[in-house]
Amino acid sequence: MNTASAPRTPSFPSRLPNVGTTIFTVMSALALEHKAVNLGQGFPDFACDARLVDAVNGAMRAGHNQYPPMAGVQVLREAMSQKYEALHARRYDANTEITVTAGATQAILTAVLACVQPGDEAIVLEPCYDSYVPNIETAGAKVVRVPLTPGTFRPDFDLIAAAIRPRTRLMIINSPHNPSGTIWTDAEMRQLEALLAPTDIVLISDEVYEHMVFDGQQHQSAARYPGLAARAFIVSSFGKTYHVTGWKIGTVAAPASLTAEFRKVHQFNVFTVNTPMQYGIAEYMKDPAPYLQLSAFYQAKRDLFREGLKDSRLKLLPSQGSYFQCVDISDVSDLSEADFCQWLTREIGVAAIPLSAFYVDKFDQRVVRFCFAKKDDTLREALQRLRKL
């Protein structure tokens, strides 16, 4: 007689019990089902520069197809070092202060795991990108949520100061900001620098939209401020900058002592990053024009989209940077943000993202987010449909 028990899959407590399928996946699937124009998930629908593909192809044919150094190939780290110095007047040592990562999301998780211990506290400013909170919770730390000012999405330094406690180890900021499209000012960065000066708080500065700043304004990188740069992991994304989000490749710049801790985690959660892409991007970066011209490129798309909505009942909020445009839906519908986005996708044929998805408590302020990183024809088709509102 066979007395062996039936195969059994073990159960265990979930590390992230409150995490389900992301809103981006849900809305993209709904857009596909209803043949809607997808202005929800933040990725371009146009091709990258063929010269970049050629550069990566050339790297493959040149034999750059085996493991690169754990921290990233030297020429790419040197290119990023030179770029920081040229744009922000701060020189990061290519050997000890710049690491190539498998995209910005991996970079942020790695930075969190490197510096946060169970029982520590970490401050996030809501609304925020949806990986921040699960990253912190994965590290066993407590998330302290501080709201940006509703409507304007500016930092409230009284609230931030009140959130700082003895166990505060980390703070994450994001400028240009996803989802609101706001950018931090020089005065705000200096105020943050002064606030953190007497503390041992580590800063993660998520700057993946750094080259998308509009109307003649300047991106205020944490690298520009000595008191912030000394405590910051600065996260950048080649995927965002060069229209290749599927390549999942970025960098982290940080002081040598922080980088040493970062690399301890990096070498065991990803070890290293796609070799030919690193060489190809380094070659492509020899011409700075593609990233220097990116603000003008996306400002034209922003202006096209805003012009098409200016006479609609959707109230346009400012879009100072990134490739996102937020609108107030109060004059269009009594539905919640989430229900409105579902209705908009099914009935109007345009997908958007509710801002409530970027708050843990699903705070609803009647605002939704569109992505204008699309072909002009895609945007015009979306605008034609939105005129039905």
- The pair of three-digit structure tokens given for residue 125, joined into one six-digit string: 């400013």
- Answer whether residue 11 is part of any domain: no
| 379 and 326 both lie in a single domain | yes
**Number of CB atoms found within 10 A of residue 39's CB:** 29
| pTM score, whole prediction | 0.96
| 151 and 258 both lie in a single domain | yes
Residues 88, 225 contacting (CB under 8 angstroms): no
Helix (H) or strand (E) holding 144: strand 142-147
Measure Cα distances from 113 to 116, 129, 144, 221, 295 in Å.
6, 17, 17, 23, 33
- The pair of three-digit structure tokens given for residue 66, joined into one six-digit string: 């085996």
- How far apart CA 22 and CA 20 sit, in angstroms, is 6
**Number of CB atoms found within 10 A of residue 265's CB:** 16
| 137 and 268 both lie in a single domain | yes
- Answer whether residue 221 is part of any domain: yes
- Answer whether residue 158 is part of any domain: yes
| pLDDT above 80: residue 4 | no
- Answer whether residue 310 is part of any domain: yes
Instruction: Specify the number of domains making up the chain.
Output: 2
| 296 and 372 both lie in a single domain | yes
Share of the chain above pLDDT 70, in %: 99
| 119 and 219 both lie in a single domain | yes
Look up the CATH number of the domain holding residue 366. 3.90.1150.10
Residues 168, 201 contacting (CB under 8 angstroms): yes
Q: Which domain holds residue 306?
A: 23-42+292-386
| 314 and 272 both lie in a single domain | no
- How far apart CA 41 and CA 35 sit, in angstroms, is 15
Q: Tell me, rounded to whole angstroms, the distance of Cα 257 from its chain centroid.
A: 24
| 150 and 263 both lie in a single domain | yes
Residues 239, 246 contacting (CB under 8 angstroms): yes
- Answer whether residue 18 is part of any domain: no
Residue with tokens 């007689």, as numbered in its chain: 1
Query: Where residue 41 falls among pLDDT bands split at 50, 70, 90?
Result: confident
| 271 and 333 both lie in a single domain | no
pLDDT confidence of residue 261? 98
pLDDT confidence of residue 66? 98
| 299 and 190 both lie in a single domain | no
| 131 and 144 both lie in a single domain | yes
- Answer whether residue 315 is part of any domain: yes
- How far apart CA 163 and CA 360 sit, in angstroms, is 17
Helix (H) or strand (E) holding 261: helix 256-269
- The pair of three-digit structure tokens given for residue 370, joined into one six-digit string: 């569109």
Look up the CATH number of the domain holding residue 62. 3.40.640.10
User: Taking residues 208-222, what's their average pLDDT?
Assistant: 98
Report pLDDT digits (tens) over 279-319.
999 999 999 999 999 999 999 999 999 999 999 999 999 99
| pLDDT above 90: residue 25 | no
Q: In which region does residue 359 sit, left (phi positive, over 0), alpha (psi from -120 to 50) or beta (all else)? A: beta
- Answer whether residue 9 is part of any domain: no
Residues 351, 213 contacting (CB under 8 angstroms): no
| 210 and 341 both lie in a single domain | no
- Answer whether residue 13 is part of any domain: no
